[in-house]
Amino acid sequence: MGSLLDSAEWQGKIFSNGWVDAAGGTVDTIEPATGDVLATVGLANAADVANAAAAAKAAQPEWAAKTGPERAALLRRAAGIVESNRAELEGWLIREGGCVPGKAAFEVDLVLGELWEAAALPTQPWGHLLPSGEPGRHSVARRVPLGVVGVISPWNFPQILAVRAVAPALALGNAVLLKPDVQTAVSGGVLMARIFEEAGLPGGLFHVMAGDAEPGAALASDPNVAMISFTGSTAVGREVGAAAGRTLKRVSLELGGNNALVVLDDADLEVASSAGAWGAFLHQGQVCMTAGRHIVLDSVADEYLDLLSKRAASLPVGNPHTDQVALGPLINERQVANVERIVSETVSAGAEIRAGGVAEGCYYPPTVLAGVTPSMPAFREEIFGPVAPVVVVKDEDEAVAVANDTEYGLVAAVQTGSIERGMRLADRLHTGIVHVNDQTLNNDAYAPFGGTGASGNGSSFGSQSSWDEFTSWQWITSREQAHGFPF
């Protein structure tokens, strides 16, 4: 099989019943490591969204009427295309998203897992035979597709955070409109369109339109769109939720995180510091599951800080496309400036830099902050950069209180020498996900994923959640013969 992007047909276009000119014009996608232009993609506007939503609504019923095995077969073909073209998918993640090769390979593996899990959905039981309170009445409940699902995906894990909604939504009989972030419009958009195009998905069912706030707002308010699945920042998620709520859409919000890694005094500190470094610095800390607050018991805090700082100082930073590095660039200069602000304000408030802390262009080194308290910006804000703020606490009770002292509720992790102790502490943490003797960055296609509070509105993803997310119940009764009533 040749390259998915061999043809120039997609350049400067959106995917909507084929590759077509975008009413919103075009935009260049930039390599953050170099500033080079990698490609030009179509930029959708509100008119593009309206046209696509109408086309998707018209095409969806025929797709929903296909048998489950037919839809499952298409998802399996899509997985095969990903496997055959994984080098190309990984290459775009590295160059367009600034990630290291290991992260790119891991993300493509996650995409494959989501596609295979989605392929299993259409052949599962899709209803219940219900008891009836009246003789002669047959009563069933069945799952039916929502119709058109809008997916708004971010730039940090652009392929998996699109596919985990696109694939199950299609598998369960919906049409989909995908709006990827313009910063990763090829890896998170064009390639997704090409995969399903090659797999033979009928026209009109899948539309891919990169864009900024205008098409996102149009998607949230379009009357032909039955659901919005949004992954992104909490601030934008609030706006999407409000806009979608006005049209009474179903809304799935997977938002930010300010996640705690709790290190207890019986933990193996070599292992704990490795988990802390991985959780804080993977993909330059640009992950909603990043370990953003390292909460360490006082008796082991000095040793943990020393070990974590040495790990941070040893990690090379550079262009992941040309060099063997552990960290690549941040996505853009604005993100670098925000990380610099948070670190500077936190140091001004009394914290100490133990490693890193000085940017070079779009590169920000792994940074460890000591002496962080709950009043400081590095504790309160989601940094979305490679910064590990360390907070020292006196005991387990204070560790729990400090971990829960946030509006976010996505994930937490606990490092301990006793699984029983870790599980007891996990029971007290107010997050949608907890990992004992692990770090915060975990994902399984078959596990429920989501957070509470400012992190979102529940466990929206994972194959166990897909039926609830992308279908609705319909109750049907029938009788052999109609009968009369008292009036």
Calculate mean pLDDT across residues 37-64.
97
1 found inside a domain: no
pLDDT of res. 325: 98
Calculate mean pLDDT across residues 47-56.
97
Please check whether residues 365 and 463 belong to one and the same domain.
no
Q: Which amino acid is at 58?
A: A
Please check whether residues 308 and 190 belong to one and the same domain.
no
Among the residue ranges 313-317, 351-355, 446-450, the one predicted with the least confidence is 446-450
Calculate mean pLDDT across residues 417-431.
97
Please check whether residues 412 and 338 belong to one and the same domain.
yes
DSSP for 78-127, please give it. Answer: HHHHHHHTHHHHHHHHHHHH---HHHHHHHHHHHHHHHHHHHHSTTS--E
Please check whether residues 225 and 285 belong to one and the same domain.
no
Please check whether residues 310 and 294 belong to one and the same domain.
yes
Calculate mean pLDDT across residues 425-434.
97
pLDDT of res. 2: 58
Please check whether residues 403 and 464 belong to one and the same domain.
no
Calculate mean pLDDT across residues 224-248.
94
Q: At what angle do helices 160-171 and 101-120 cross, to 10 degrees?
A: 10
Q: Which amino acid is at 428?
A: R
* CATH assignment at residue 193: 3.40.605.10
437 pLDDT higher than 90: yes
Model pTM?
A: 0.96
Work out the pLDDT band at 459, boundaries 50, 70, 90.
low
- In tens, the pLDDT along 382-417 reads 999 999 999 999 999 999 999 999 999 999 999 999
411 found inside a domain: yes
Please check whether residues 154 and 102 belong to one and the same domain.
yes
Look at the chain and report how many structural domains it folds into: 2
Please check whether residues 267 and 240 belong to one and the same domain.
no
Name every residue whose Cβ is closer than 8 Å to that of residue 230 and which is 6 or more positions away in sequence.
152, 236, 237, 240, 241, 251, 252, 253, 254
123 found inside a domain: yes
DSSP for 344-383, please give it. Answer: HHHHHTT-EEEE----BTTB---EEEES--TTSHHHHS--
* Angle, CA of 238, 243 and 249, to the nearest 5°: 105
Work out the pLDDT band at 461, boundaries 50, 70, 90.
confident
Q: Please state, for a pLDDT cut of 90, what percent of the chain lies above it.
A: 94
294 found inside a domain: yes
Calculate mean pLDDT across residues 474-478.
97
96 pLDDT higher than 60: yes
442 found inside a domain: no
- The chain-wide mean pLDDT, for the chain, equals 96
pLDDT of res. 448: 86
pLDDT of res. 444: 87
Work out the pLDDT band at 458, boundaries 50, 70, 90.
confident
314 found inside a domain: yes
CA-CA distance, 449 to 77, in Å (whole number)? Answer: 26
* CATH assignment at residue 423: 3.40.309.10
Please check whether residues 240 and 329 belong to one and the same domain.
no
Tell me which residue range forms the domain holding 157: 8-255+456-475
Please check whether residues 26 and 138 belong to one and the same domain.
yes
Catalytic residue IDs:
254, 288
Calculate mean pLDDT across residues 19-36.
96
Work out the pLDDT band at 1, boundaries 50, 70, 90.
very low
Please check whether residues 393 and 286 belong to one and the same domain.
yes
Please give the order of strands across the beta sheet that includes 148-152. Answer: 19-21, 13-15, 206-208, 175-179, 148-152, 227-231, 250-254
Please check whether residues 125 and 73 belong to one and the same domain.
yes
